[in-house]
Every structure is written in structure tokens, then in C-alpha cells.
Amino acid sequence: MGVLCSVIRFENLHELKRLCHWGPIIALGVIAICSTMAMIDSVLWYWPLHTTGGSVNFIMLINWTVMILYNYFNAMFVGPGYVPLKWKPEKAQDSMYLQFCKVCQAYKAPRSHHCRKCNRCVMKMDHHCPWINNCCGYQNHASFTLFLLLAPLGCIHAAFIFVMTMYTQLYNRISFGWNTVKIDMSAVKRDPLPIIPFGLSAFAASLFALGLAVGTTIAVGMLFFIQMKVILRNKTSIESWIEEKAKDRIQYYQTAESFVFPYDMGSRWQNFKQVFTWSGIPEGDGLEWPIREGCHPYSLTIEQLKQKADKRVRSVRYKVIDDYSGACCPFNKGIKTFFTTPCTEEPRISLKKGELILVTRGLRHWMYGDKILDHLTTEDGSRIRGWFPRKCVEKCHYDAESDQISEGEKKNR
């Protein structure tokens, strides 16, 4: 595809700092181990200089590595694309359909969301991926998805080489340091080749690389199918979640309205071409998007505003009764709290006794909410929100009349 013909654009040298994160370190480590061991084992199993098949096998290994790294770095350094700071819609009246980001001092363009990690509004944001230490969005969605496809394919090839190398070496020559085992297996013997020692350490390294290759194939392959599922519907992971919440909201309030996702073009091929193009540059400008017939240009953002208003109505106020330092896995809040910490990169917030929290969601032992700052805001205009232990707060008491929404009000929303 055209994306493979484009050049990685290092727009800012400071982007190199993205490599200093546990996600890229682990991902590049796995790629390096599997690729290096596959090339070494391919020399042992299928000498590349004597046969055409061996040469093709070795070239394919190098090709997998180059394409995987190309798309990986493309996804990391090109990035998703950000909504310009202080951006406004061309028509002033359209701003009523959009949310305003206090951090970026701009309206959130359709399909964009603010990422707390990147601290910017990301165009067509799918999610923030720790493995590339960047967001997956408008500009790098194709490269990210190609990486998810190529990594399992390369690992399958490498795993086959690991298995065949260990198989032939076990029956041709095994040197564990204390003796050499030789078994006459004519079915697997090859023409005499330069002998490369294959001892216990080489066997252990090949076995370890095989485990990494198999694990990567399963894990990354599942992520690829998830991504293709949303791409063929011209959605993102966030938009799929918004659509689910829209159904829940309509059902909860028992309204006669219906929500139709506006960006599904009705054809999987048309949806596919919204992300993958021969030029490598996705369609559109990341701010305006084609919509299906009969839908309002701001159908999705209008639904987001409704959900935001509904979230404020259904949120519950809690008072802090015990201090919390903001630790990811606090030891002093109980064993259950320690072992059930949310598996997410969303932040934890420190609490002080007497503070008020507006809780929007929760688990059995953890809750998520915003601090009520009494009309005070942080310097950059952002909110203080995150996870905290449930046992650190207690629900504020309200009058029965104000604590519940009447059935008549539900139907009128």
C-alpha cells in the first residue's frame, strides 16, 4: 500500500522521547529478540547461500522486520494529528453542537477527543496505545493497523523457523556441555554444512523466542481483528462506546428518539477506504467528515452533549472521610482494594479528608470521579479527576425529593 511508500516524518526531534517508556521498550525488545533469533536459527536450519528456498526464507525474514519496524515507527512518530489550538468551526452557530476544551482553548472537532496523556485534542481518536506511547487516530490509524497485521504474520514465520531448527538440531546434534548425542535420522539430515554450535543456551534462547512469537501472534492478532471490526464500520473504539451509551440513555429515559451512527457509509469497502489509501494519506482533513444520507453533520457531537448532561444528572456526590495518597496499589486500604486496582492507565487522584467528589462510575472497591473545587480551577484549566478507593469516601445525604428523578422527568428528557 501507499503508506509503505511514504517517508517517516520526524516533525520534532523531541518526539524521540517517546522511546523512553515501558511500552516501546518491551515492544522493540520482543521484535529484536524474535527477529535476531529467527535469522540465527534460519542459518542453522536452512542455509540461505546454498539454495533458492533458503535465500527466499532469509529475505522474507528481513522483509518482515523492516515492514514491522516501519509501520511501528510511523504510528509512533507521525502520530494521530491534533486539533489546532483555539480551533473554531467556520460557522459560529455550529459551536452550539460542540464541546469546548479548556486545556486546548478550542472546540472539539467532530470525532476528536482530548487525551490526558498527550494533553491535546486528538483528531478521530481511537485510543491511547502504551505500546507506541502515542495515540492512535486520524493520521496513523492505517500504520498502526498494518503493524498489528504484520507483527503476527512475522511471528508465525519466525515460530516455524524456531520449531524446525530445534527439531533438526535435536536429531542431528545436541551439545549440552557434558556430552554429545547423535541419532541417525536420515529423514531430517541435510547435506554437510558449516557446523554452528547449538548448545543448551542456544536451545533455551530459541525456546524463549518461540514463546514470545506465539504469545505475540495471539495477543496482537486479537487486537488486529478488533481494529478491523471498527474500521469496517468506520468507527473508533471510543465511538463504539458512545453508541452503546446512546442506546442505554434512550432506554433509561424511555424516549422515542433513535441514534444512527452518522459516519458509517453503508459499505465496508467505502469504510475501509476512509482509513487505507494508496497515497498513504487518509481522506479528509481530520476536522470534517462525510456522513451517511439523512444524518445531521453533528449527530455524534449532539449525542455526546446529551450524554454529558445525563452524566451530570446521574452522578453522585461523595465526601472524603479518609486521606488517600494517590498510590496505584495502596497497601493501607485493605487487601481487596490492593488486588482489585483498575487495570487502566487512567490516573489516581489524591484525597484529603473533607473534600467533595462527584462520582461518575465505579467498581466494587474503586470509584472514578471529579473533585469539586468550589469554583477554583487548575492553572491550565483542566479538571482533577481519576480513580480512588471506595472506602475513602461516603455518600452525601440529600432530601428524598431531590435525590431522585421522577418518571415524568425521565420521559421528558
**Residue 167 three-state SS:** helix
Reported as half-sphere exposure (CB side, CA atoms, 13 A), residue 293 has a value of: 2
What cell numbers appear for 107 in the block? 472546540
Residue 129 annotated to the active site = yes
Catalytic residue among 104, 129, 136, 392: 129
The C-alpha cell that represents 2 in the structure block: 501507499
* Residues 108, 114 contacting (CB under 8 angstroms): yes
101 within 8 A of 107, measured Cβ to Cβ: yes
Hey, what's the torsion of the CAs at 105, 74, 12, 87, to 10 degrees?
-20
- Count Cβ atoms below 10 Å from residue 199 Cβ, excluding itself: 14
What is the C-alpha separation between 279 and 277, in angstroms, rounded? Answer: 5
288, three cell numbers: 470534517
- Does residue 359 sit in helix, strand or coil? strand
Distance CA 203, CA 217 (A): 21
Catalytic residue numbers, as ranges: 129
